[in-house]
């Protein structure tokens, strides 16, 4: 009897287990779904205001932010920077719809292009190897390296106008996130401490000012959480109105256009692109500030030119394509 009871008891237990498993199966298994952002973001066609907004209010904002960054250097350096890096006056331009990479191209992606034979390996061998972490934006790329990668990936470099619209949105914001500076918006740099000590007693002449902007007048600033480059999207508030990240700071970015000190007022108002060099020493346009540049140089309408065959540890790129 005891044995029979034990058998019956065990059968009952099995029945309970089976019923429980059946109930779980009926309810369905629990699945965790993770949303993966798309590789590119779509920027709708239409007009936007390209360049530095006109008016005393914008100038006051510019010089206030510039003064905070450059302190004792004051208006001379800011004025020189404004003249050489802002395209004035602003104007309404039309661009067709396009897609642009959500993130700057990272080292691992560039390596895939090298392995496939579409890209040169030189950027991965050049300079300080600290910058070659697989998840960081690739730097030390020539303009032609960037163009080759985009071609290999079925895309192209964005034009200046496309890049600026993707960064500013239809409202033509000062920064990708809005019209005021936010500390968590960009991985930025600061004015060199050595420059402050060594150059401020005697304000430099115009030639010296240009040299300072073109050379080692800035340095990294770890106050934003990153002493050097950072992985894409590391800044909490760094996304543009379309969802592209790091369009201010992290690495500056090559774009398709040749650069002109005169801006782009001579270009068409529809899909402008400077495809022919404007001088005997052609440079390509670079956008977006970087981890080495002070906050003021992260304004979305600022720009500068760099020789296409020059490498820099704070210049990378992202790609675009027609839609």
The residues pairing with 42 across neighbouring beta strands, listed in sequence order, are 99
Of 52-61, 105-114, 183-192, least confident by mean pLDDT is: 183-192
Its sign, for the CA torsion 172, 140, 133, 128, is: negative
How confident is the model over 230-255, as a mean pLDDT?
A: 94
| 37-322: CATH, from 3.40.50.150, 3.90.1580.10, 3.40.50.2300, 3.40.50.80 | 3.90.1580.10
pLDDT computed for residue 297 by the predictor:
86
Which residues have a Cβ under 8 Å from the Cβ of 207 and sit 6 or more positions away?
none
pLDDT tens, position by position, 15-44: 444 444 444 445 566 655 555 678 999 999
To the question of pTM greater than 0.85 for the whole model, the response is: no
**Highest-pLDDT range among 5-14, 186-195, 227-236:** 227-236
**Highest-pLDDT range among 2-16, 195-209, 301-315:** 301-315
How confident is the model over 253-274, as a mean pLDDT?
A: 94
CA 246/CA 248 separation, integer angstroms: 5
Question: How many residues belong to the chain?
Answer: 323
Which residues have a Cβ under 8 Å from the Cβ of 244 and sit 6 or more positions away?
41, 100, 101, 102, 103, 166, 167, 176, 318
Q: Given pLDDT bands bounded at 50, 70 and 90, which one contains residue 252?
A: very high
Contact 248/275 with Cβ under 8 angstroms? Answer: no
Domain residue ranges in the chain:
37-322
pLDDT tens, position by position, 278-305: 877 789 999 999 998 888 889 999 998 9
pLDDT tens, position by position, 122-160: 999 998 888 899 999 999 999 999 999 999 999 999 999
Is the pLDDT at 209 greater than 70? The verdict is no
């Amino acid at each position: 009897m005891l044995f029979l009871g034990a058998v019956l008891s065990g059968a009952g237990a099995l029945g309970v287990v089976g019923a429980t498993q059946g109930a779980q199966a009926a309810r369905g298994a629990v699945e965790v779904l993770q949303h993966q952002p798309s590789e590119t973001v779509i920027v709708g066609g239409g007009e936007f205001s390209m360049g530095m907004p006109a008016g005393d209010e914008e100038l006051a904002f510019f010089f206030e932010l510039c003064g905070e960054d450059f302190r004792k250097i004051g208006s001379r350096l800011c004025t020189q920077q404004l003249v050489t890096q802002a395209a004035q006056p602003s104007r309404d331009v039309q661009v067709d719809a396009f897609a642009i990479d959500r993130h700057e191209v990272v080292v691992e992606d560039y390596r895939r292009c090298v392995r496939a034979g579409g890209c040169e390996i030189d950027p991965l061998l050049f300079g300080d190897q600290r910058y070659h972490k697989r998840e960081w934006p690739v730097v030390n790329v020539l303009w032609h390296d960037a163009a080759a990668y985009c071609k290999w990936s079925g895309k192209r470099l964005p034009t200046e106008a496309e890049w600026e619209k993707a960064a500013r949105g239809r409202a033509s914001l000062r920064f990708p996130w809005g019209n005021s500076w936010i500390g968590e918006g960009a991985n930025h740099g600061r004015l060199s401490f050595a420059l402050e000590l060594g150059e401020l007693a005697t304000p430099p002449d115009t030639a010296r000012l240009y040299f300072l902007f073109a050379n080692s007048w800035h340095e990294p600033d770890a106050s934003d959480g990153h002493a050097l480059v950072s992985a894409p999207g590391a800044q909490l508030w760094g996304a543009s109105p379309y969802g592209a990240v790091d369009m201010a700071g992290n690495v500056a970015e090559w774009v398709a256009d040749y650069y002109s000190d005169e801006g782009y007022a001579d270009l068409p108002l529809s899909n402008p692109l400077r495809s022919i060099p404007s001088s005997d020493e052609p440079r390509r346009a670079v956008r977006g500030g970087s981890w080495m540049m002070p906050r003021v140089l992260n304004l979305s309408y600022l720009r500068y030119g760099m020789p296409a065959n020059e490498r820099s540890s704070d210049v990378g790129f992202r790609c675009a394509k027609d839609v």
